């Protein structure tokens, strides 16, 4: 009986923020003014904003109450100790270095561990993570399982590390050239796909044999823990919080963007178990972020994140969070729209190659699709294809990722089911008009992380 009942969010709305949709002409003008890059639109030009789940979550009344308890002392803020305790309790690491957001932690980790000529294997790249590894002189090597590159394959753990590929790399370059394996759960660029606990245990065993560290990109590790609870045999009766602790226990530290799982608008951290590495990182943070008891955050921000961590690991929160993403995904599947399967934890990814088989990757099909979606309904999404992949650091040529995706990213606790219905209808309309769509050409290309600021124009107008 129970199983057939609907579920609902474990909260009610206390404050609202009005939104509105511009006219079709205004949207077209805004698109041209922003160079067909959704990152360059103004927020006020957007109706439903699915650009990212980063820093866009709604905070709870308990978090907002915590904001009033900010201890803004330069050194030793009480909020830092609350944050430290929350991370130690729920993630299980010993030493915490606060940073202003995830990439601040990636910078510190790369500077402390990566030397020129090193290789950093990872389960698919992430934009800022790989860039910091490269800036430190390292080379990223993709060791995700091959099925991660197939958007139609329905595997439960498409984020897993390919342990054979990792062993081959170790044999080829030597363990001493691999400072750590960077493992992300869930895998953003693969469509929000999780890593299994079994894979983590085996990765731990393999790397321990070679004396290689494992560093977790913990940005969405709570969502990963939820998928383990739902999909992996033996975990159904365990809480998300317990699963998260075990998951982290197979790693030596983590970088974290608190702007995702941890339900805050800004914040992050680097966590380490090794005292010597911590000593180095807590010294470096003074150079790049701020003193080691605030790392670029106000005291109130640290309090909000400490409380956000506690809320983020609640089973009913995770059920509603991932449940909403799955609701949108299954609606699109029912409408016949090609998306990455299975539906990920934080976003639904449209398969732009399947939308526009008549475009080459040089015509930026995913960038074009995001633009068509905005033009149709004011819904803002993000390109995750050749533009995001950037250029090879040595050859200067485009990276051509197998996946050419548009990400519809759902902010946590922000939109309702009715908003999801509007989005699905708009995507279906754009899919219906796919045959007449044309690609883009890039007219401005920034040197670093070009997807944020690149500008485009249509190949054919009309
Ligand atoms: C967002 C993100 C980062 C970087 O974090 P910021 O807070 O945006 O600097 C790193 N890894 C993953 C997987 C992310 O999604």
The residue annotated as part of the active site, out of 118, 217, 252, 261, is: 217
The residue annotated as part of the active site, out of 103, 158, 300, 384, is: 384
Q: Which of 312, 341, 372 is the last residue of a domain?
A: 312
pTM for the model stands at 0.95
Structure tokens at 79: 């909020």
Phi, psi of 440 (to 5 degrees): -125, 165
pLDDT at 373: 98
Evaluate the CA torsion angle 366, 367, 370, 375 in order and state its sign.
negative
Q: How many domains does the chain have?
A: 2
Q: Is 126 a catalytic residue?
A: yes
- pLDDT, tens digit, for every residue of 272-314? 999 999 999 999 999 999 999 999 999 999 999 999 999 999 9
54 Cα nearest atom in ligand 1: 1
Q: Which of 312, 330, 352 is the last residue of a domain?
A: 312
Domain hosting 418: range is 24-46+315-458
Query: Residue 297's domain is classified under what CATH number?
Result: 3.40.640.10
Using alpha carbons, select from 423, 343, 311 the residue that is nearest to residue 49: 423
pLDDT band at 393 (very low <50, low <70, confident <90, very high): confident
Q: Is residue 88 part of a domain?
A: yes
290 and 209 assigned to the same domain: yes
283 and 401 assigned to the same domain: no
Using alpha carbons, select from 28, 26, 34, 21 the residue that is nearest to residue 461: 28
Task: Report CA(433)–ligand 1 centroid distance (Å).
Answer: 33
- pLDDT, tens digit, for every residue of 251-277? 999 999 999 999 999 999 999 999 999
Q: Is residue 232 part of a domain?
A: yes
Q: Is residue 11 part of a domain?
A: no
Q: Is 451 a catalytic residue?
A: yes
What average pLDDT does the segment 153-169 reach?
A: 97
247 and 363 assigned to the same domain: no
283 and 351 assigned to the same domain: no
Sequence length of the chain is: 462
The three-state secondary structure class of 121 is: strand
Q: Is residue 17 part of a domain?
A: no
308 and 319 assigned to the same domain: no
Q: Is residue 10 part of a domain?
A: no
Q: Is 139 a catalytic residue?
A: no
Q: Is 127 a catalytic residue?
A: yes
Ligand 1 pocket test: pick from 188, 220, 265, 305 the residue with the most ligand atoms within 8 Å of its Cβ.
188
Query: Residue 40's domain is classified under what CATH number?
Result: 3.90.1150.10
Using alpha carbons, select from 275, 295, 276, 299 the residue that is nearest to residue 287: 295
Q: Which of 272, 288, 312 is the last residue of a domain?
A: 312
Query: Ligand 1: residues within 6 Å at CB?
Result: 54, 101-103, 126, 128-129, 184, 188, 217, 219, 257, 259-260, 268
Task: Report CA(128)–ligand 1 centroid distance (Å).
Answer: 7
123 and 269 assigned to the same domain: yes
Using alpha carbons, select from 241, 329, 321, 310 the residue that is nearest to residue 56: 321
Q: Is 431 a catalytic residue?
A: no
241 and 327 assigned to the same domain: no
The residue annotated as part of the active site, out of 260, 307, 353, 380, is: 260
201 and 290 assigned to the same domain: yes
340 and 215 assigned to the same domain: no
């Amino acid at each position: 009986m129970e199983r057939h009942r609907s579920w609902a969010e474990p909260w009610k709305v206390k404050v609202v923020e009005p939104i509105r949709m511009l006219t079709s002409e205004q949207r077209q003008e805004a698109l041209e003014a922003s160079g067909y890059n959704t990152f360059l639109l103004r927020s006020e030009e957007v109706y439903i904003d699915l650009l990212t789940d980063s820093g866009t979550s709604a905070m709870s009344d308990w978090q907002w109450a915590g904001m009033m308890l900010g201890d803004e002392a330069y050194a030793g803020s009480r909020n830092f100790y609350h944050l430290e305790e929350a991370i130690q309790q729920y993630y299980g690491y010993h030493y915490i270095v606060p940073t202003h957001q995830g990439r601040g932690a990636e910078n510190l980790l790369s500077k402390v561990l990566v030397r020129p000529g090193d290789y950093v294997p990872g389960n698919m790249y992430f934009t800022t993570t790989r860039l910091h590894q490269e800036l430190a002189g390292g080379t990223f090597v993709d060791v995700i399982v091959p099925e991660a590159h197939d958007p139609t394959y329905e595997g439960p753990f498409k984020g897993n590390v390919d342990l054979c590929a990792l062993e081959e790399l170790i044999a080829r370059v030597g363990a001493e050239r691999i400072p750590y394996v960077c493992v992300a759960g869930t895998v953003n660029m693969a469509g929000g796909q999780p890593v299994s606990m079994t894979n983590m245990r085996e990765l731990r065993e393999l790397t321990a044999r070679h004396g290689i560290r494992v560093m977790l990109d913990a940005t969405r590790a709570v969502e990963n823990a939820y998928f383990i609870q739902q999909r992996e045999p033996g975990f159904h009766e365990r809480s998300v919080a317990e699963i998260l602790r075990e998951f982290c226990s197979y790693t030596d530290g983590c970088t974290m963007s608190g702007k995702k799982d941890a339900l805050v608008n800004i914040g992050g951290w680097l966590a380490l178990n090794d005292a010597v590495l911590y000593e180095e990182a807590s010294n470096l943070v003074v150079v790049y972020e701020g003193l080691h008891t605030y790392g670029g955050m106000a005291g109130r921000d640290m309090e909000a994140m400490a409380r956000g961590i506690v809320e983020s690991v609640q089973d009913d929160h995770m059920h509603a969070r991932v449940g909403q993403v799955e609701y949108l995904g299954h609606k699109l599947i029912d409408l016949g729209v090609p998306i990455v399967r299975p539906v990920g934890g934080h976003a639904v990814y449209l398969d732009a190659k399947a939308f526009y088989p008549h475009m080459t990757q040089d015509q930026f099909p995913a960038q074009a699709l995001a633009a068509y979606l905005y033009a149709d309904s004011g819904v803002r999404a993000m390109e995750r294809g050749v533009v995001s992949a950037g250029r090879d650091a040595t050859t200067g040529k485009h990276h051509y990722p197998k996946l050419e995706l548009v990400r519809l990213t759902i902010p946590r606790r922000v939109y309702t089911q009715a908003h999801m219905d509007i989005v699905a209808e708009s995507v279906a309309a754009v899919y219906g008009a796919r045959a007449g769509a044309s690609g883009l050409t890039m007219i401005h290309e920034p040197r670093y992380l070009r997807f944020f600021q690149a500008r485009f124009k249509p190949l054919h107008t009309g």
